[in-house]
Structure 1
């Protein structure tokens, strides 16, 4: 996070030289969308190149000899070896990708389309430059073809009468045309898939939705405000309603009362002076044996009752539009709230979104 803005990043392993001269060890190199690179220290793309050049960092284990060159470039089925130069190009590509800009591979595809539309020598030279801009160890993957890999491109970029890759077949006009036919088939397949997707995703929103709405835990020592604001999304907000034959002062009262196995505990929780007190009493009471199976359904029913029986609160919830609701706080378990790790399930936020959809559907049916 930088000045409240999230900066996306990706990471990979890299070898770092021990400052005491005891060899190399594996470490994490992280690359961010704004060009920052970290691996024990901060640097940028130029700094990365210098560290690789001086041997402070390495892209492969320096103690392991490089693999032997393949006997035939044309017959080889694996990528070219990873080098410091090609790794720097890859890191630069990841920065472009994280920033939402075209990668070298995507620019290569643009050059392919240009050459398809106008197969001249100048556009072929542009294609050659675009292909060579792809990091060498990633070129075999640029077309996304497991069988042919990047061979159609290598054929197109070889002059007539020259051996492809120096040891492959001699390039001919027929081979060039075959490569062009290959790209035409790929273009047709992509177009067909886009058309199928347009049908399958016909109801996908055409415009961006609202940004996520965060519902924070709210404390009002002097009492809740009279005007309902977004704090009314909280389960402890006092909004009396009836549900399943009982009357509850808030969703918190209803949830914890219905979770209790003993009738006397249910009564004490229902009559608690506040939502936080109901939570405290409910957390100490023995739970119903079937509670793990029914708690989501109960919470959904409580929210439905709260908002349908309080139209003014329903309007506040509806005013959030299609925004994702992130329900945060400290008192509820990660099952219910949004936690910044993989423990947070945010079920409260999800159920609020479901309730909002039901309220909107009910409004539409009544009009």
Structure 2
């Protein structure tokens, strides 16, 4: 079964994490089946199509009654594998094993250990101390994995779950009933398999540490959100993050021209005609500059140039206004989210709806350049 997500629902103001998968629902009147999403949530709630609520016991009743099916009924039965030990396919998914899978997914959503987590812990415990008591616990943990998922539990396409099947088989007994007889050597070979896996994981982690030696460490800083704000009576005397936005009045010179705001500069440079450029640059407000710019004929190559132009305008603004540069640098290392409705989604952040947030990303780049320049000056002194 393929689980999709994430999704969620709100209950009493609390966000409940969820996931969904596809099942077949029987139409009571037509005696026919149609596909439907089955949603499960961290608190154990299960819904069909997102509306009809039940729980794990209720889902068991729906499966038993045939109102919910895991596959489209066609009357055919799967041919049994000639040898369980040699089989290369998972065991058939049954109602019972699917219920175990749903219960496991609920545990995962709730942040509790999954059957896979508990199994791996049992493997580690048995490797630390190879007692019969620990092997018995390993067997319990292995059997707790939904039967149709066991061949995938180690993520090994070649060996599948055979090392586990060997370890949970008593000495002198054939593995899977028709496989090799479990011997101390066979058990040791399975233990060596897990030792090799752990060694490979450790090597990969060491390589990752070297490869990503400059990766950020610790908890990430909360994002800095630059909200679009209107000040009808003029900008506040005390600077705030509003001054980092493109409509803030901070005249600067770029490519030999002076612009009142970044908005003026962007739309003036967008215009293909020089007369439009000058008219936009002279606009009384940033909003008027944007409206004039949007109505002007634009440069044919603007899509290829706009990022470079915006980066250049922002650099000029902060290079020529040290107090604003300090304000930008003070935002630290957090992501900068540039929100609002005046800019196109290409430039702004739209939360769950998307938005490419290019202004925010360019501000992060310029902030990094400012901090690097400041650090370099400190070392030189």
Is this a same-fold pair by TM over 0.5?
yes
Q: Which moved more, 1:209-218 or 1:283-292?
A: 209-218
Residue 214 of structure 1 aligns with which residue? 225
Give, in whole Å, the separation in 2 of the partners of 1:255 and 1:52. 61
- Who is 2:6 aligned against? none
The aligned counterpart of 2:136 is 125
Secondary structure in structure 1 of the residue aligned to 2:34: strand
Is 1:164 the counterpart of 2:175? The answer is yes
| Structure 2 partner of 1:261 | 272
Alpha-carbon spacing, 1:60–1:332, altered in 2? closer, same or farther (3 Å): same
1:204-263 CA distances to partner (integer Å, 9 max, x unpaired)? Answer: 222111122332222222222222212223211222111111111111111111111100
Aligned residue runs from structure 1 range 1-367, under 5 A: 2=10, 7-40=16-49, 41=51, 42-340=53-351, 344-367=355-378
Number of aligned residue pairs: 367
Corresponding residue for residue 5 of structure 2: none
Compute the displacement of 1:347 (Å).
1.0
Consecutive unaligned residues of structure 2, counting only runs of 5 or more, are: 1-8
1:122-180 Cα offsets, whole Å, 9 max, x none, are 00011111111111111101111100100011011111221111111221122111111
- Cα distance in 1 for partners of 2:360, 2:81 equals 56
Matched residue of 2:202: which SS?
helix
Rounded to whole Å, the distance in 2 between the matches of 1:235 and 1:4 is: 35
Q: Give me the TM-score of the superposition, normalised by structure 2.
A: 0.90
Aligned-residue CA RMSD (Å): 2.0
From the superposition, tell whether residues 289 and 48 of structure 1 become closer, same or farther in structure 2 (CA, over 3 Å).
Answer: same
Separation in 2 of the partners of 1:34 and 1:247? 59
Contact kept in structure 2, 1:335 and 1:343, CA below 8 Å? no
Q: What secondary structure does 2:253 align onto?
A: strand
CA distance in 2, matches of 1:199, 1:4: 44
Contact between 1:255 and 1:299, CA under 8 Å: does it hold in 2? yes
